[in-house]
Structure 1
Amino acid sequence: MRRVGHLVVCGAVILFLGAGADIRSAEKRLLKVDDLFEIKDVNDPQVSPEGDWVAYTVRKADSKTDKNDTDIYMTRWDGSQTLRVTTSKVAETTPRFSSDGRWLAFLSSRDYDEDTDQVWLMSRSGGEAERITDFKGGVSDFAWSPDSKRLALVVLDPDPDACDAEKEGKEACEEKTPKPIVIDRFKFKEDETGYLGKRHEHLVLFDVAARKGEAITSGLHDDLLPAWSPDGRSIAFVSKRADKDPDRGDNWDVYVIEAKTGAAPRQLTTFDGADSSPEWSTPPAWSPDGQQIAYLQGGPPKFIYYVLPRLAIVPVAGGAPRIVTATLDRGVGLLHWSSDGRSIYCILEDDGSVHLAKVHVATGTIDRILAGPRTIGAFDVGKGDRIAVLNSTPDEPPEVFALEGTTLRPLSRQNQEFLSHVKLGKTEKVSVKSKDGTAVTSFVVKPPDFVAGRKYPAVLRIHGGPVGQFQNEFDFDWQLFAANGYVVLAANPRGSSGRGEEFCRAIYADWGNKDAQDVIAAVDDAVTRGIADPQRLGVGGWSYGGMLTNYVIAQDTRFKAACSGASISNILAGYGTDQYIVEYEAELGQPWKAFDTYVHNSFPYLHADRIKTPTLFLCGDKDFNVPLLNSEQMYQALRSQGIDTQLVIYPGQYHGIRTPGYVKDRLERYLAWYGKYLKP
């Protein structure tokens, strides 16, 4: 009787909870543009040395100040307590625990006249944070020594032409006429940095107690990604110092230098391509015994970014490196040795997901610890291989989780309240066949109130890169389009990562051909399945996504509306005006020697008369990645033909639009443009 009674009571509870869930579901609303001010961007989990706490950053857009603010939080490993560590209106990033656990250091430009990041130090026993560095050029990265007495800093050389506000006064400096910019470098411009002079980033050894730093590297090259040896005697880092002209390639190598002034760096790797390129955000990793260094090796220089980083190990004493993942046709990154030195934890990119994996050093065997439809954006390994991960799925923005075996336990919960109030569209991963039979992965996001059998206006979204991938992660733009009644199609065409090097290199020097066929195949599949209305198709993307948008509308007139952000179609105009001089010459050649190749890849501009799609062009006026002039040319080409078009220029913005008000404006313009032509 008790057992029956117990079952009845439990059943009542379940029914009650189910009814409550239905009520809550009914109360949920659709996502709206202003929700971008509610979403919190969680990142950079760091496990404390004792393993009891996890620090991480939380970024949120503020509609009142029209700025983004990043603060540091800490959560106990058992999830029982969360602390907000910083509260200023200026961003604090890169939280790092000292090795003895007494201190938490971070980067911030707050209360600093030069507006460059400096290192701040906070005692974990309490008290206010203190700025401990004063480098005019700023600190971009740092690492604690094992004894917690020193920091290895990455410091930018000060600007020799900068006005000294302390000596001359701030007002006098503001009124002073800037000196002419003199260019003499091969690669002379970079997005957000501007025109490149002779300033570089170098390593500085910083004494925490004395608050004093001394440079241990110098020269006309950058020295980045410092990593201390377990005994604290040496620092590994990456540099292109071996090249006569570092600007002419991507030949990063791993070096080791004694942690003292006057020491000479010793080169460990000599591969012609990139070893631990800073673009992979993966510092060299010392084995626990200090005898080996794990790093990432790229591919032949001619293939530039069309490569998949492989895990390699090199003896610290010198010798040939060993490629541990030689048979794995997937890219890896973010390397952490296991405490016993037998394995290396890493992330592994695979067909629309990013998994957490463990590679056995001796055999190269790979165990996927966290697989499935997810994206592991970051992770950290603490004492006893205690792991905190940044995990996202199509239904949940990135959050910090504690890994227990192969299951995740939530720690940060920053977006839990927000998600409880909104309805999201269902995301489905499908495989479609391209024109030549190639299998292409695509994501399909349906409106939250999707009705089977009804055809919906569809928007094809195209990712940038071209080497990159759409992933099993939360995408605000996708969900916003879905909330406004669109089916969203997001394909990973050839040129994308996650499917192996052959798939990645299939578009080498041949843009807008196979990759255009692949994304169009995703649209054809949705039309065939009766999901997408063939009379109401839109397309759009940013950067290479904008470029491929232009390629698509120049060969398929079915699309009724397009949004092309920060794109280029006249490739000849890109040579020497953007930051990709190395990539242009490696992939396409020099225009006077490979004119036909440039013309071949410029057909959306040279054959703009084939375009019939009303197109919205957008770009930041300070973009040195894909400069504004390229969007201006395409706008002019369509305007000259009488095609409905518009050019939106965001003042003070670089390749990535970051000012919250402009991000909101861009989303509203997307919806208005698609709405005008797909929902007449």
Structure 2
Amino acid sequence: MKTLLQPLFVLFWVGAFAQAPTITQSLSMKSVGSPQLSPDGKWVAYVLTETNWDENAYETEIWLANVASGEKFQLTNSKKSNSSPVWSPDGKVLAFLSTRDDKSQIYWIRPQGGEAKALTKFETGVSSFDFAPDGKSIVFLASAPDTKAFKERVEKYSDYEVVHEDYKMTHLFTLPFADTLSKLPTPKALTKGTDFSVGGFSLSPDGKKIAFDAAKNPDLINSHTSDIYVLTLADSSLTKIVSLKGPDSNPVWSPDGSQIAFSTTNEDEFFFYANRYIAVVPEKGGTPVVISQSFDENASLLKWSANGIWFSGLQKTTAHLFLLNPSTKKFTKITQPSDALATQFSFSNDFQQLACVLTSPNRLAEIVVSSTNAFAPKTLTQLGEQLKPFKTATREVVSWKSKDGTTIEGVLIKPANFDPTKKYPLLVVIHGGPTGIDLPSIAADRYYPIELFAAKGALILRPNYRGSAGYGKAFRALNVRNLGVGDYDDVISGVDFLIGKGIVDKDKVGAMGWSQGGYISAFITTFSDRFKATSVGAGISNWATYYQNTDITPFTRQYLKGTPWSDPDIYRKTSPISYIKTAKTPTLIQHGELDRRVPIANAYELRLALEDFNVPVKMVVYKGFGHGITKPKQMRQVMEENLSWFSQWVFGENAAK
């Protein structure tokens, strides 16, 4: 086992008398994911994530659980992380990705244990892989190695980039596999060149063909160019079988290999907030047929069995598994009860069993297994034991009417000793996206110390404002040309709803969020005088500045239906910086130095403007980080900074500092 600064038993002892986990304890909590059911359904491989404070990293190892007995044991144990387990078709071998050699490479190990053996030492590292149906080869995705000409260029001029030209294309490779291999096999390129960059792939049931999606290049601004191809391995012939407008991806073969299902926006021009549907096309090409339009949300395509097409999706604040009949286009919900939150599914070869990550309101996520015929989950992990030493807050889904009459839902988090006759400070924590969603399950706190806020005597509201996932296509489009403005109405109406219930002190309200949540918080800073403090995490302050610098310019064009050059008025209307003259709210700004999604110019612009208008502001820059803060020590600073900020401005503590 890895040596950790704070193993689980120490976590229990330290928090034994605490009402809520400390920031360090929360950041030290373990989590599970990526369950992979063995072909015969007898074992589940899954990934356990731990915090390694010594290395300042979240590290993952692969564990195995026996479905019948529930017995578990750790299968891998190495420097850095091991993840993405994949069973061989006969179940005798488990392959996985490991960063023990710095770049991610494929290793394999027997499920009984022993030393893991390397399969690749690929120059650029491996991003994903799968076994061929006969188990005799592996197909993987990786960035193509640098050409000789490129290496000579670097040698002559050092490193530079020609924007929109110097792309690292991702391609398919294959290598032979046998558990008797004595040396690293040599990979063979299956696709190559600069015509496209591969995204995801699927091998046909007979192993003779590979379906994959590929875009013009890996630049996010060209994700809409993704189409579906079929590669015939015998002669390396390549056929584009889907070329619809907009992104088409994630091909999945029918059991007989005659058809391919894939994810599509069905040529919707505004794909950032359009539904992702499931469509079917003959494997030789033809006219695709959309078959999941009766499901008004993103249908996440999983597998195709004799019983139908399996997909997962959100339904408001729940998440479920569904089975779609390709002929009737009708679907059936498989997972239960109605408030379940089930994700990350895998299946046995006969599709009689499934494994998934399952949680529900006020619970931590666990790995479970169940029959697919009658969902009755058997829990294999006990991550919830981590909460036993603490008195955690309670979560419930609430709803209210926004200014325009739209029904908005959110998660209301109450202190463990909540008294409905008292009035509490209220902190609004706003998710990103905008097509994110907040759910009533428990997850270890990361950017915002929710449990500590509740233990200090605050209510926390996490609104699923217009644009959030889970509520259908029409709801996701309600903030089009209405960003910030409609979002603020949804937030403030939720605040007023709780004030009206008599449980909120209207003079002690704060707001915070990251990314789109940071943008809405910045909008609150400049637009409203109702809040005592805000925290803007990686947030947009000026849509024009954002458009000119972000790595996803189509996002702004789709949501605002224009550019700063074609429609400057909508950019002014929806930008927090436009209302800077009315800003009064003390604001904490947190931002990654290398953020390309929301470039840090937005943070500097808001900070300077607030300073010029004498509004209290503090800005913290996280060196070396992009849009997300991903290491535990820096994440601890993010959380402690937010705790201190709201303790001062909302709770009235440390006012002299």
What TM-score do you get using the length of structure 2 for normalisation? 0.90
Superposed counterparts of 1:184-203, under 5 Å: 184-185=163-164, 197-203=166-172
CA deviation after TM superposition for structure 1 residue 60, in Å = 1.3
Secondary structure at 1:293 match in 2: strand
**Match of residue 412 from structure 1:** 381
Map 1:276-425 → 2, pairs under 5 A: 276=249, 283-300=250-267, 302-338=269-305, 341-371=306-336, 372-385=338-351, 386-404=353-371, 405-413=374-382, 415-425=383-393
Q: Does 1:107 align with 2:97?
A: yes
**Once the 2 structures are TM-superposed, how far is the Cα of residue 536 of structure 1 from its aligned partner?**
0.3
Alignment match, 1:452: 420
2:224 to 247, 250, 271: 250
Q: CA deviation at 1:94?
A: 0.5
Distance 1:92 1:489 in 2: 36
2:81 alignment partner in structure 1: 91
User: Any conservation in 1 of the 2:36–2:85 contact (CA below 8 Å)?
Assistant: yes
Q: Residues 161 and 495 (structure 1 numbering): CA distance in 2 closer, same or farther, change over 3 Å?
A: farther
For 1:334 and 1:420, locate their aligned partners in 2 and report how far apart those are by CA, in whole Å: 36
Query: How far has the Cα of 1:350 moved from its partner?
Result: 1.1
Residue 58 (structure 1) aligns with = 48
Aligned length: 622
Deviation of 1:236 after TM superposition, in Å, equals 1.1
CA distance in 1: counterparts of 2:497 and 2:627, whole angstroms = 32
1:93 offset after TM fit, Å?
Answer: 1.0
State the distance in 2 between where 1:408 and 1:454 align: 39
- Counterpart of 1:9 in structure 2 is none
Using the alignment, how far apart are the partners of 1:337 and 1:28 within structure 2?
48
Number of the residue aligned with 2:104:
117
| Correspondence 1:204-603 to 2 at 5 A | 204-209=173-178, 211-220=185-194, 221-241=196-216, 247-248=221-222, 250-260=224-234, 263-276=236-249, 283-300=250-267, 302-338=269-305, 341-371=306-336, 372-385=338-351, 386-404=353-371, 405-413=374-382, 415-477=383-445, 478-587=450-559, 588-602=561-575
- 1:631 alignment partner in structure 2: 603
Report if the CA contact (8 A) 2:174-2:190 is conserved: yes
The whole-number CA distance in structure 2 between the counterparts of 1:34 and 1:26 is 14
Q: 2:192 is aligned with what amino acid? A: S
Confirm or deny: 8 A CA contact 2:20 2:451 kept in the other structure.
no
RMSD over equivalenced CA pairs, Å: 2.4
Q: Secondary structure at the match of 1:356?
A: strand
Structure 1: stretches of 5+ with no match in the other structure: 1-24, 165-172, 187-196, 277-282
Residues 584/83 of structure 1: CA separation in 2 closer, same or farther (3 Å cut): same
How far has the Cα of 1:85 moved from its partner? 0.8
Query: 1:145-183 deviations in whole A, cap 9, x for unaligned?
Result: 00111111101122458999xxxxxxxx9xx99824132
Give identity over the alignment, percent: 31
In the alignment, what sits opposite 2:9?
A: none
Q: Quick one: distance in 1 between partners of 2:623 and 2:45?
A: 35
Determine the structure 1 residue equivalent to 2:141.
Answer: 154
Q: 1:212: how far off?
A: 1.8
Could you tell me whether the CA contact under 8 Å between 2:130 and 2:138 is conserved in 1? yes
Matched with 2:131 is 144
Q: Deviation string for 1:619-654 (max 9, x for gaps)?
A: 111111111111111011111111111001111111
SS at match of 1:383: coil
Please, what TM-score do these two structures have when normalized by structure 1? Answer: 0.87
Matched AA of 1:383 = N
In the other structure, the counterpart of 1:67 is: 57
Q: Distance in 2 between matches of 1:249 and 1:97?
A: 30
**Partner of residue 21, structure 1:** none
| AA matched with 2:111 | R
Q: Partners in 1 of 2:90 and 2:258 — Cα distance?
A: 23
The alpha carbon displacement at 1:569 in A equals 1.4
Judge conservation of contact 1:240–1:246 (CA < 8 Å) in 2: no
1:552 CA drift (Å): 2.3
Q: Distance in 1 between matches of 2:390 and 2:404?
A: 41
Distance, in Å, in 1 between the alignment partners of 2:456 and 2:191 is 54
Distance 1:666 1:36 in 2: 13
Q: Residue 80 of structure 1 aligns to a residue in which SS?
A: coil
Deviation per CA, 1:64-95, whole angstroms, max 9, x where unpaired? 32111110011011243111011113111100
Give CA-to-partner distance per residue, 1:385-442, whole Å, 9 cap, x none: 21001112342222110124222110122x2331221221111101100011110111
SS of corresponding position for 2:549: coil
Amino acid paired to 1:70: T
| Structure 2: gaps of 5 or more residues | 1-14, 653-657
* Paired residue type of 1:206: L
1:670 to 2:657 alignment: no
